[in-house]
A and B are shown apart, each in its own frame.
Chain A
Amino acid sequence: MELFNQIFVDPFVTMYELPDLLLQTLWEGFVSGTLYSLIALGFVLIFKASSVFNFAQGIMVVFAALTLVGLHELGVPAYLALLLTLGVMYLLAFSVERLVLRHMVNQPDIILFMTTIGLTFILIGAGELVFGGEPKAMITEELGLPTGSSDWDVFGGIVIFQHIDIAAAVIAFLLILGLAIFFNKTRIGRALRAVADDHQAALSVGISLNQIWVIVWFAAGIVALATGIMWAAKSDVSFALQVVALKALPVLVLGGFTSIPGAIVGGLIIGFSEKLFDLYWGVPILGGGTESWFAFIVALLFLLYRPEGLFGEKHIERI
């Protein structure tokens, strides 16, 4: 009976009694959800173009953030450091295509996946070599990002909006929108979709596979930089940040590996559900700490009923 109450009664009583906390939870879920969407987008871009699950996306987040902060520590002004970091991410995309992917054409997907694991270790080593392993503070104010917070007095309580969270949500939204337009409405975007559909057919109509790979890896690099800035502002720039990218996995399972809208919707579902579950069910019943696994349970349930995700393409094989 107690368990019944904990599942079906108490959470809703708490929601009713503390509506401001519910609103705060929804806001935190929304902010986390947009950031998860952004991380997942980095994976989707590369998967669409090359059917490769880019294991290195997490370390690209760290590498981009470290480069930005590292350049600033060397005395480079923040905005110039931002531009130079974009340059470094382009160079990385170019190098990955020229030194790695080009030599992997026609290899099985699993080989390409293993390649990105190798790339992860190279980036970890390079990052630690150049910038060291010590955590650094994100240059939030220097980049003109807002700090501080605003309160909303509501239902006899308050909802606190951190300005950096608002900025994170807005930037993530704009970036997702920009990338969606770029890949859906431009010539390069159409080429990308053609590559995603069929490599051979795309090549036969003159689309440069190599150029497309550089573009998508660079786009994933931009996404990594944005994610790194926003997430590091909530904590610090350290190699621990790379594990945050693991949160993209359930998002991708939910939204589908090839769908930009899927990444957005999947991210928001995970963001909202994990915060609500942990607060209202996780702590009273399981003692808390459910954030580290709840998203994967949601993904597992989706896998059982919709293996291709919410927006993924259904694979029909003729026998």
Chain B
Amino acid sequence: MMKKLLMGAAALALAGSLNTTVNIAGASAEDTLYVPSLSYRTGPFAGNGIPFADGFADYFNMLNERDGGIGGARIIVEECETGYKADKGVECYEATKGKGALAYNPLSTGITLQLVPKAPVDKIPVFSMGYGLSAVAIGEKFPYGFAYPASYWSQMSSILKYIDSNGGIKGKKIGFIYLDAGYGKEPIPLLEKLAPEMGFEWVGFPVGVKEMQNQSATWLNVRKERPDWMIMWGWGAMNPTAVKEAAKIRFPMDKFIGNWWAGAHADLESVGETGKGYLAANFSGIGTDFPALQDVIKHVVEPGKSQVESVEKVGNVLYNRGLFNAVMMAEAIRVAQEHTGKTVITGEDMRWGLENFKLTEARLKELGLEGFTSPVIASCKDHEGGGAVFIQQWTGSDWERISDPIPPMVEQVRPLLEEAAESYTSEAADWQTQTCS
């Protein structure tokens, strides 16, 4: 602790002159690729933000150390602390966009919603991996918005499919507990649409940001409503509290499914045995049994070039999620470099890369990530890439994958996404669209 204190004091002294950002890797200005990382290592959501930011930075660092960067250009990952606040996120965007930012990964639906209208103006894509505005999946309407490997709506449809395949969904009552913010409310239109089509009833349980750790009234309502299944769109301290409260009212854990932001180690480690059986969606691999992860450990973590607290944290759900975000970014950069013939690309080139990378099974194997995730095939039309989720279960001490990939209900979801995209863009003046062949 004393070491941390002294390091902290030194960091504080440096902070005054270095602003709030930290250079992860240094390189000459001529052949570098600048990737801003809107992270949050402080505040109420830091527990989730830290492992994600670590995984994101470590993968790029590994590419720098192992391969000398991408296509001969070293990657500079610059973190900017948002504290998960939309205003700070926009501040970070404005402060870094002039440095040659290739794309923004806001890691917050609130920040994403602010940046989506800015992206076509500044010609810098916004890549909200599995969060943000679901409608950006429609590439024709959102040339600069991306939501690989799946949007919230697609994820919700996969979760409903899982419920349907485990006892049927028709005639069932689904409880939906969600963070009462843009993120938590995002899948509600899909629930409203699919409930009559699939024959289930749903009831919502909002949890205010200030009440994340004070949910007893919410769970009294759950007890009163007696839903057959509970689905959670939670984040940060809301997740462990909800699982503990569910256990308190004896809600069956194997009927309680969190989305992919409510199923991290940080969420369940403090719950332990109490949460045994709890389910969550996921789209990125768990653990370190992948050659790419081993390379990260060898080239970055063990030599002490990572911010990760200990090597045991490598491979955790959110660490791997951040790493997967970086993998897709790196693939898009590579594709853009090949397409343009340039080493140093621009935001516009990156947009092309994000629309044209193909993360096939074969490519995943080449990257040392075989079985890590389902293939993601980018295209002009489809900005969510057809990714699939799987379901994982908490064993009391770790997450265990228990299902095959569950593809989304594309036929039901796509028309809704198109409708939402049309509605969003028709309300925006001079919105830039594109035509896809």
Contacts and interface: CB of A to CB of B under 8 A. Distances in A.
B8 interface: yes
A275 B221 CA distance: 10
B8 A235 contact: no
B91 interface: no
Interface string B213-226: 11011101101100
A21 B44 contact: no
A239 B43 contact: yes
Contacts of B244: 234-235
A194 interface: no
Interface in B185-209: 204-209
B4 A21 contact: no
A274 B213 CA distance: 15
B213 A288 contact: no
A275 B249 contact: no
Contacts of B51: 134
B1 A70 contact: yes
B213 A134 contact: no
B3 to A, nearest CB: 10
Nearest to B47: A135
Contact of A124 (B12, B42, B208): B42
Interface stretch (B24-32, B265-273, B297-305, B338-346): B265-273
B170 interface: no
B210 interface: yes
Contact of A244 (B42, B213, B271): B213
A130 interface: yes
Interface stretch (B235-243, B285-293, B322-330, B424-432): B235-243
Contact of B237 (A24, A236, A246, A292): A236
Interface string A187-202: 0000000000000000
A235 B218 CA distance: 14
Nearest to A32: B216
A32 B214 contact: yes
Contacts of A240: 44-45, 212-213, 236-237
Interface string A123-138: 0110011101111111
B159 interface: no
Contacts of A129: 4-5, 8, 11-12
B1 A135 contact: no
Contacts of A247: 214
A238 B204 contact: no
B66 interface: no
B213 A241 contact: yes
Nearest to B4: A130
A134 B1 contact: no
Nearest to A35: B214
A234 B204 contact: no
B210 A246 contact: yes
A288 B204 contact: yes
A289 interface: yes
A111 interface: no
Nearest to A294: B217
A304 interface: no
A133 B221 CA distance: 32
A244 B214 contact: yes
Contacts of A237: 270
A278 interface: yes
B213 A235 contact: yes
Interface residues of B, number: 50
Nearest to A20: B223
Given A134-B50, A235-B240, A240-B237, A128 B42 contact: yes
A288 B206 contact: yes
A283 B218 CA distance: 9
A38 B322 CA distance: 40
A278 B213 contact: no
Given A21-B223, A128-B42, A133-B42, A292 B210 contact: yes
B163 interface: no
Interface in A147-166: 149, 160, 162
A252 B223 CA distance: 31
Interface in B37-70: 41-47, 49-51
A289 B215 CA distance: 9
Interface string A223-260: 00000000100111111111110110000000000000
A283 B221 contact: yes
A287 B223 CA distance: 16
Contacts of A174: none
Contacts of B272: 137
Nearest to A137: B270
A149 to B, nearest CB: 7
Contacts of A177: none
Interface in A269-319: 274-275, 278-279, 282-283, 287-289, 291-293
B363 interface: no
Contacts of A37: none
Given A28-B216, A135-B237, 20 more contacts: A31-B216, A130-B1, A135-B266, A160-B249, A234-B213, A234-B244, A235-B270, A238-B46, A239-B46, A240-B45, A244-B214, A247-B214, A278-B221, A283-B221, A287-B204, A288-B218, A288-B221, A289-B180, A289-B205, A292-B180
9 smallest CB-CB distances across A and B, nearest first, come from A133-B46, A292-B208, A289-B206, A240-B44, A129-B8, A137-B270, A236-B270, A240-B237, A135-B47
6 contacts: A28-B216, A129-B8, A130-B4, A134-B309, A243-B44, A279-B221
